[in-house]
Structure 1
Amino acid sequence: MLSRRASLILIAPAVVLLGLLFLYPLSYSLIWAFSDEELGGWGLQNFIKAWGLYSRDVLFTLIIVTLSTLIIGAVSVAIGGYLTLGENRVALAVLRTLYRWPLFIPFVVSAQLMRTFLAKNGMMNNIITSTGLMDPLAATSFLDWRGIVITFVWKQTPFVALLVAGAMAALDRSTIEAARNLGARRLRILLGIVVPQVGTTLMVGLILSYVVMMSVLSVPLMINAQTPTMITVDMAWRINAYSDYGVANALGFITYAMTAVIAWIYLRQGVREGGRPQ
């Protein structure tokens, strides 16, 4: 009994914070989303209006976040794989030093950096034109959906790569060395031996990145000054321009549904891992 009470006392602060910072705002958001101010009751009017106005933005958000997540996964596996299987000491030292930097930069700063880097007269085009590979008149701006994807990938790849590289470094290298002795190339070792063993860690990192990108406002707001745009921009617009909390929260509920699918996959995988015999 004493041990049970001690356990409850230990988890009480976490439960209180969860209730105050997540469950209470979530409940309040759902009330706003399903309330109908015109009829003075409950209904789906806010969802109908949100879908009618912003269905393209919902699809745009899903495509952007999914595409970014897939690219982040591929780049993270490449970075972690080279850190694990690479042999060039100089390249390894440089990669270990550089790939983590974006991890400590906030999204709003990342968006501002990309605005100056991806603009028509930005640093990227200036570097390319200075090398003679492109005519200055042919320079184009990447401040559109491509800029959002580039920013998300640049910002979130270090987080996932750090998890993946750590998991790869903890693997038993006997199987890797055995595959090398049999003549297997590094790419085959990476995809056939290493990645399957760190698949759970990779999935966790990608799910967390997916949820984070779904909630970012600064990147689409500062980079993509056209339509369609992401749901977070629409939510901010409905609140700031119209004080329409009903539609804004309906859009928020849609993002809950989009992330709930990913959360379900994560929880299902966790249950499977927990149910395996040790």
Structure 2
Amino acid sequence: MTSLQPKMWGERKLPPYVLLLFPAVTFMVLMYAWPFISSVLQSFIISGKEGGLTLANYVKVWELYRKDIAFTFAVTIFNTFLVGVVAVIFSVYFRLRQNRVSALLSAIFKLPIFIPFVVVSQMMNSFLAPHGLLNTALAQLGLVNLDKPLQLFNFAGLSFGFAWKQIPFAVLIIHGGFQMIDNSYIEAARSIGAKLPSVILRVLVPMNKSSIIVALVLVYSQIIGTFTLPYMLIGGKVPTTITVDIAHRVNYFRDFGVANALGVCSYIMVLFTAAYYLRSKIKEARQEVSQ
């Protein structure tokens, strides 16, 4: 009979769950870790030239695209904050006002989640155009002169598009966390005279902190990695987002070195939130174990 005891690896025992983890770890390495490492290495190589590693690609990124990097970071931070605040407000409303109106609004809110970004981009392109639906409607109300319409193919229009797409996604996550909070906590806070803002800020939000963090991290990452919305609203204007610059370097110049350097810049932006998220989850896991 074969022994069920863990095999020996040198002087250490090989845990039996290693074989179970092997397929998942292999998939993660091939699909995520290897492309990431390859992209970082390629960012130090000049496309079409032989030679060692160089920082020339990063120098070119700094000279040509530093405004775009700052623009990308500003758009991401602003929209993540905006989406977080609005999503919490709507999630609280859906949690505390459980009636037909809130149920209908909650169902309507889920629709943008299933609309691809390319469709959202085309919608926003038609809605925010100088003579699009928004400017035409405002002109009918006498708020805008169509000879000088609002110019929204910029930071403002991009923020509107991201908010329209990402708020329902964040509400879905945050509202699910609020639903897990027992009504007894809310009733206890109200019984001692807590007003609605206090109930939200001192009871609901702290108890749903993990869901809010997850929603913000996912929204932040999606905004940085979105290509179609910035491309269709801003296109080749300056400033634009990093994703548009990457596509421009690859499609027009076949310059994979600079494109990978721009990709590394986006990785760095995302790594901060990923590190914070992992740190918070590890902290929560340690607290659960200690309890």
For the superposition of Structure 1 and Structure 2, which TM-score range results when normalised by the shorter chain? over 0.9
Question: In structure 2, what is the Cα distance between the partners aligned to 1:220 and 1:190?
Answer: 34
Offset at 1:6?
Answer: 6.0
Offset at 1:5?
Answer: 6.9
Instruction: Tell me the residue number matched to 1:53.
Output: 64
Question: In structure 2, what is the Cα distance between the partners aligned to 1:190 and 1:115?
Answer: 36
1:221 is aligned, of 221, 226, 231, to 231
1:168 is aligned, of 170, 174, 178, to 178
Offset at 1:138?
Answer: 4.9
Offset at 1:251?
Answer: 0.6
Fraction of identical pairs, as percent: 34
1:42 is aligned, of 37, 40, 53, to 53
Offset at 1:123?
Answer: 1.6
Instruction: Tell me the residue number matched to 2:38.
Output: 28
Which stretches in structure 2 are left out of the alignment for 5+ residues? 7-13
Question: In structure 1, what is the Cα distance between the partners aligned to 2:191 and 2:43?
Answer: 61
Does residue 1:189 correspond to 2:178, yes or no? no
1:258 is aligned, of 269, 287, 290, to 269
Partner amino acid for 2:110? R
Report the TM-score, using the length of structure 2 for normalisation.
Answer: 0.89
Partner amino acid for 2:266? T
Instruction: Tell me the residue number matched to 1:145.
Output: 155
1:120 is aligned, of 122, 126, 130, to 130
Larger Rg: 2
Report the TM-score, using the length of structure 1 for normalisation.
Answer: 0.93
Bigger proportion of residues as helix: 1
Alpha carbons of structure 1 residues 94 and 134: separation in structure 2 relative to 1, 3 Å: farther
User: What secondary structure, in the 3-state scheme, does the structure 2 residue paired with 1:42 have?
Assistant: coil
Aligned runs of 1:103-118 on 2, under 5 Å? 103-118=113-128
2:110 is aligned, of 95, 100, 105, to 100
Note the aligned Cα RMSD (angstroms). Answer: 1.9
Instruction: Tell me the residue number matched to 2:242.
Output: 231
Question: In structure 2, what is the Cα distance between the partners aligned to 1:144 and 1:255?
Answer: 20
CA contact 2:91–2:174 (8 Å) conserved in 1: yes
Larger mean Cα displacement after TM superposition, 13-22 or 105-114: 13-22
Instruction: Tell me the residue number matched to 2:9.
Output: none
Offset at 1:2?
Answer: 6.2
